[in-house]
Amino acid sequence: MGDVDAVLAQLVTELGPGTVLTDPDVLRTYSTDAARFCPAGTAAAMVRARSTAEVSTVLRLASQHRVPVVPQGARTGLAGGANAVDGCLLLSLERMNQILTIDSAEQIAVVQPGVVNAALSAAVAEKGLYYPPDPASWESSTIGGNVATNAGGLCCVKYGVTGDWVRGLEAVLAEGSVLRTGRATAKGVAGYDLTHLFVGSEGTLGVVTEVTLSLRPQANMPLTAAAIFTDVGAACTAVNEYLSSGVRPSLLELMDGPTIRMVSAYGKLGFPPETEAVLIAQSDDEHRAAADLDAFAEVCWRLGAGEVVVAENPAEGELLIEARRLVGPAHESVGADLVDDVCVPRSRLADLLRGVARIGQQHDVLVTCAGHAGDGNMHPAVVFDPADEEMTARALDAFGAIMRLGLDLGGTITGEHGVGLLKRSWLEAELGEVSLAAHRSIKQALDPLNILNPGKVLSMGESLSRKA
């Protein structure tokens, strides 16, 4: 453990009062993100940085005294990536919340990491522009956190994930130096792509203090359709046939039967009791939206949908998608759940849904499954009573079995939530020894003392800690 007292004394001197907090209640509140069942240590202090210079000061002093630093944004993450470790400095970037530039001609925005996703979306909309990435937490999550996890969202099927919209970064490295990556131009291939090395690195390689983002002209208000199936396999087939026809919807979401029943109990939405899958599609194509949804309806009817509703206007569309938006609140209302984040090839989507149901039965726990069917990224959730130790053990086993299933189907353990602490033990199973060694080499090159978010994503063993 480093010399925390020395760091705190110097931080107060260099950053001034009010920036460094040591109140135990505050530290306890900020010790975790939104993930459940991930360990969290006891932080020594929290620093509320206001500028890149202050972040640089924090990392310079932390490096000198071998004190770990855990960067944090809005702490909406679902993998324990922002959880405190013992004796660390929590580095809050929430105060760095300025939109520095919106350039309509170049269609870019330059923002600080604490800017909330929804605030950026609203600001660029005023200029007739659109920032597509929209994670479910978009009203509270920050751009810095979105970059750290390479967050996705409902619109990924057409617009991709956060990293697809990042042109450049400013990041403070472990010893306090400031690195600029990428560029503001639409094209540029000089040097290694360091920008996308940092995207998705979860604060383990550097602390992002500024982001240059691509924008696009404002999208049209989407039209929406929903289809109800009694067979989840038929709904998955509809996903593949619809997308194979060449249509590019702006949203294509799926909820399975257990999810629908939970949402119906929470929101009283009145789905037929025999419903085993609901597909929701949207198109924001100016010229093809109506035709896109007609094609969706044709495919769904042909594959046995019991009902297909095509909204006549955006307001009706919002009513159709309300059920999908209620998935999170419905789960929160029933107690504890472990949310998985597997992504598989769309051709294996039915295998994933059937396998998830089988895992729930095998482990005698409720498993619901909803997510972004258009890109194969689903969010199975294991629901259980945390006061029941035996049920909790079964739930954890089911959670792991779902990740194993995703890998066996040619997929990944995380499509958009990140690894953090929750999935660290599964990373080697996905990457393999050679890739994992390359990851560790990169980490050691950029953070040789292992002070940046230690223990997250990668296990670095004891060799680095002995250097301290």
Domain segments of the chain: what residues?
4-94, 99-217, 221-326, 335-420
Q: For 280-289, 321-330, 425-434, which range has the lowest pLDDT when averaged over its residues?
A: 321-330
Cα–Cα distance measured from residue 386 to residue 389, given in angstroms and rounded to the nearest whole number:
7
Helix%, strand%, coil% for the chain, nearest 5: 40, 20, 40
pLDDT grade for 463, boundaries at 50, 70 and 90: very low
Strand order from edge to edge, sheet including 366-372: 307-310, 223-229, 277-283, 251-256, 366-372, 377-384, 336-339
Cα–Cα dist 14/369, whole Å = 50
The reply to whether domains 99-217 and 335-420 share a CATH topology is no
Strands (E), 104-155: 108-111, 129-130
Residues near 326 by beta carbon (within 8 Å), at least 6 away in sequence: 263, 266, 267, 269
How does residue 461 score in pLDDT terms, banded at 50, 70 and 90?
low
Specify whether the CB–CB gap between 271 and 322 falls below 8 A: no
pLDDT tens track for 29-57: 999 999 988 999 999 999 999 999 999 99
pLDDT at 325: 87
Architecture, CATH, for domain 4-94: 2-Layer Sandwich (3.30)
End-to-end alpha carbon distance in the chain: 8
Three-state secondary structure call for residue 464: helix
**Is residue 371 predicted with pLDDT exceeding 50?**
yes
- Give the span between the Cα atoms of 142 and 346, in whole angstroms: 29
Does the structure show a pLDDT above 80 at 468? no
pLDDT of residue 466: 28
The span from the CA of 441 to the CA of 224, in Å, is 47
Reading the block at residue 261, the tokens are 């029943």
Residue 99 has pLDDT above 50, yes or no: yes
Mean pLDDT, residues 199-225 taken together: 96
pLDDT of residue 299: 98
Average pLDDT over residues 229-237: 98
pLDDT score for 54: 98
In angstroms, rounded to a whole number, what is the distance separating the alpha carbons of residues 45 and 68? 11
pLDDT at 230: 98
Burial 388-417 (b: 16+ CB within 10 A, else e): eeebbebbbebbbbbbbbbeebebbbbbbb
Dihedral sign for Cα 132, 138, 141, 146, please.
negative
Pick the CATH number of 221-326 from 1.10.10.10, 3.30.70.3450, 3.90.245.10, 2.60.40.180: 3.30.70.3450
pLDDT tens column, 135-185: 988 899 999 999 999 999 889 999 999 999 999 999 999 999 999 999 999
> Which residues have C-beta within 8 Å of that of residue 257, sequence separation ≥ 6?
232, 275, 276, 277
Q: 92: part of which helix (H) or strand (E)?
A: strand 89-92
In this predicted model, which residue has the larger pLDDT, 286 or 26?
Answer: 26
Furthest CA-CA distance within the chain: 71
Q: What are phi and psi of 402, to 5 degrees?
A: -70, -40
Neighbouring residues of 317: CB distance < 8 A, sequence distance ≥ 6: 222, 223, 224, 282, 311
Output the DSSP codes for 426-455.
Answer: HHHHHH-HHHHHHHHHHHHHH-TT--BSTT
The neighbouring-strand residues paired with 436 are none
d(CA 122, CA 118) in angstroms, rounded, equals 6
Mean predicted confidence (pLDDT) in 211-223: 94
- Provide mean pLDDT across the span 353-364: 98
- State residue 1's pLDDT score: 57
Mean pLDDT in residue range 222-243: 97
Hey, what amino acid is at 459?
A: S
- Domain spanning 335-420 has what CATH number? 3.30.70.2740
- Extract the tokens encoding 77: 């993450």
CATH number of 99-217: 3.30.465.10
Instruction: Number of helices (H) and strands (E) in the chain: give both, helices first.
Output: 17, 18
Tens of pLDDT along 392-407?
999 999 999 999 999 9
Sheet-wide strand order for 178-182:
99-103, 108-111, 207-214, 166-172, 178-182
Query: How much is the mean pLDDT over the chain?
Result: 94
